[in-house]
Chains A and B, each alone.
Chain A
Amino acid sequence: MTLHDRLLALDRRWVFGVLVLFVITPLFIEFSVPVTPVKEVREIYDFVEGLKPGDYILISLDYDPGSLAELHPVAMAMLEQCYAKRLKVITLTLSQTGAQMVEEAVKDVADSCKLYHGFKPERGIDYVYLGYKPYPGLIILGMGMNFRIPFPQDYYGTTLDSIPMMRGIKNYDNVKCVINLSAGNVSDMWVADGNARYGVKLALAMTGVMAADYYPYYQSGQVFGIIGGMKGAAEYELLCKNPGTAAEAMKVQVFAHIVIILFIITGNLAFFLGRRKTAPTQESR
């Protein structure tokens, strides 16, 4: 068997093994990777930084455990930024399996503020978690009329009118912007039903799989910022001066990307070597 035959016939479990090695090794090496925030991430950070204490912001955390890796770091950094600025944060989720995970993120970041900022945001006064409802499109449309249509109560069963920070807050007109963190097509619904219908000022944070698809909305002004994938999450953590799991993961990304590029090059080399070997045989016929 020639080299290229062996390369082409390589069991994929060897590929898996090499990948695992390249992912585990950097976690035990101390080094950092330079991360430069891009314009579309910086715009979201700058907008939130520009808000005044008491301004309302709606963060829709529409992701599930399958996309925890990319969106949880953004959620943590963004929530801490909002709490530190004493903004009034309205949170909710439109992901059917993410409700508890999002609740814990909202609460845990609030609890950690006591340690890092000297105060603890209070539920009902500084933040509210509305919970989950099915059919994201309908919920987004309903909130545009009145938050109480889809969410008569919050996640804990408290009527919205009994929540101090929700008194007098009717719909998107009362919030400065909506930031959507999503892993599926909920972002499309926020752009269509939120921005197109109600003119909501919208920013998106999404998984890497989807990020490239939303640049048309950014360029046309329908969204004012995009945080794409783990790189975007690391950039946002850097801007918030709050390095977390995304910043640590970027060094592993470097190694993993190198190995994937090597796989692509090796696979193509083996393919072209194989083609060159068979081509003279065909010519001689």
Chain B
Amino acid sequence: MKRQIPLVLVFTFGVLLAIQYFVPSEPSQRGYEFVLDWITIIGIFAMVLGIWSQIHVGYYKIKHRSEDWQYSVVTLVSMFAMILFGLSFFGGLHGTIFRLIYNNIFIPIQATIFSLLAFYIASASYRAFRARSAVSTVLLVAALLLMLRVIPMGPLADPINKIGNWMLLVPNLAAKRAILIGVGLGGVATALKIVLGIERSYLGKD
């Protein structure tokens, strides 16, 4: 029962929702709305798992004095501080301190984490991007042509722009289309495997 009922649920709802796409009748649309409404609520509760997981990991590191456990204190204190300042008493989502922390702590750090990638791409361009074979040379030349579009090249600007546009709308399009078709077929196959109960890893162990 612990494994059979979930499999029956997956099959029933999977088939119903797949068929619903082709049935535009009023009861079908009502049922679809109902399902979407409920599943959104279930999903919101599932999100709480992530928050609990973060608290649990931090607590475990502090309790067992793992390596760098002091930083877990920083994580937990900042999390609870943010939750405290987000309560209605302090103005909720629109509270002053809540917004200030978001704008002056969260945004700068988050944005800077991603900006570090600029340095790594520069390093990779210098140390790893090699024209070792014909295939990698093609990749290198394509990348260089697209990068040259950004640089004002005077009389060469127009031809480079045209070649860049051609590259995006002909060979790049063909390549990405093939990937999209492959991903689509793979996605449909995986969804079918889940609905038919062939893929059962989500059930976990007994």
Contact = CB atoms under 8 A, between A and B. Distances in A.
| Touching chains A and B, CB distance < 8 Å | yes
A19 B39 contact: no
B176 A213 contact: yes
A97 interface: yes
Contacts, number: 133
Interface residues of B, number: 53
Interface in A6-37: 8, 10, 12, 15-16, 18-19, 23, 33-34, 36
Nearest to B111: A65
B71 interface: no
Contacts of A38: 165
B27 interface: no
Q: Pick the most buried of A141, A197, A250: most chain B CB atoms within 10 A of its CB.
A: A141
Interface string B115-126: 100110111011
A66 B37 contact: no
Contacts of A273: none
Given A138-B36, A264-B144, A66 B110 contact: yes
Interface stretch (B3-11, B55-63, B147-155, B191-199): B147-155
B147 A133 contact: no
B176 A212 contact: yes
Chain A at the B interface: mostly helix, strand, loop or mixed?
helix
Interface residues of A, number: 58
A267 B126 contact: yes
Contacts of B179: 213
Given A150-B40, A216-B173, A19 B122 contact: yes
Contacts of B1: none
B126 A216 contact: no
Interface string A84-97: 00000000000001
A258 interface: yes
A67 interface: yes
A5 to B, nearest CB: 14
A199 B133 CA distance: 44
Given A135-B40, A139-B40, A12 B127 contact: yes
Contacts of B13: none
Contacts of B119: 15-16, 19
Contacts of B130: 267-268, 271
B110 A65 contact: yes
B202 interface: no
B102 interface: yes
B93 interface: yes
Given A216-B173, A231-B150, A138 B111 contact: no
Q: Pick the most buried of B148, B150, B165, B173: most chain A CB atoms within 10 A of its CB.
A: B150
Contacts of B203: none
Given A36-B161, A267-B127, A100 B44 contact: no
A115 B21 CA distance: 48
A134 B47 contact: yes
A212 B161 contact: no
A145 interface: yes
Contacts of A142: 33, 36-37, 40
B114 interface: yes
Contacts of A134: 43-44, 47
Interface in A94-146: 97, 100-101, 104, 133-135, 138-139, 141-142, 145-146
Given A10-B126, A66-B111, A254 B152 contact: yes
B123 A264 contact: no
B40 A260 contact: no
Contacts of A197: 21
A264 B172 contact: no
Interface string A212-250: 111110010000000000010000000000000000001
Contact of A268 (B37, B93, B131, B149): B131
Interface of A: 8, 10, 12, 15-16, 18-19, 23, 33-34, 36, 38, 64-69, 97, 100-101, 104, 133-135, 138-139, 141-142, 145-146, 149-150, 155-156, 197, 212-216, 219, 231, 250, 253-254, 256-261, 263-264, 266-268, 271
Given A34-B157, A149-B37, A231-B150, 5 more contacts: A15-B122, A250-B150, A254-B150, A254-B152, A256-B118
27 contacts: A12-B126, A19-B118, A38-B165, A65-B106, A66-B110, A69-B115, A97-B110, A104-B103, A134-B43, A134-B44, A138-B36, A138-B39, A141-B36, A145-B29, A149-B36, A212-B176, A213-B179, A216-B173, A216-B177, A219-B173, A254-B152, A257-B150, A257-B151, A260-B121, A266-B126, A267-B126, A268-B130
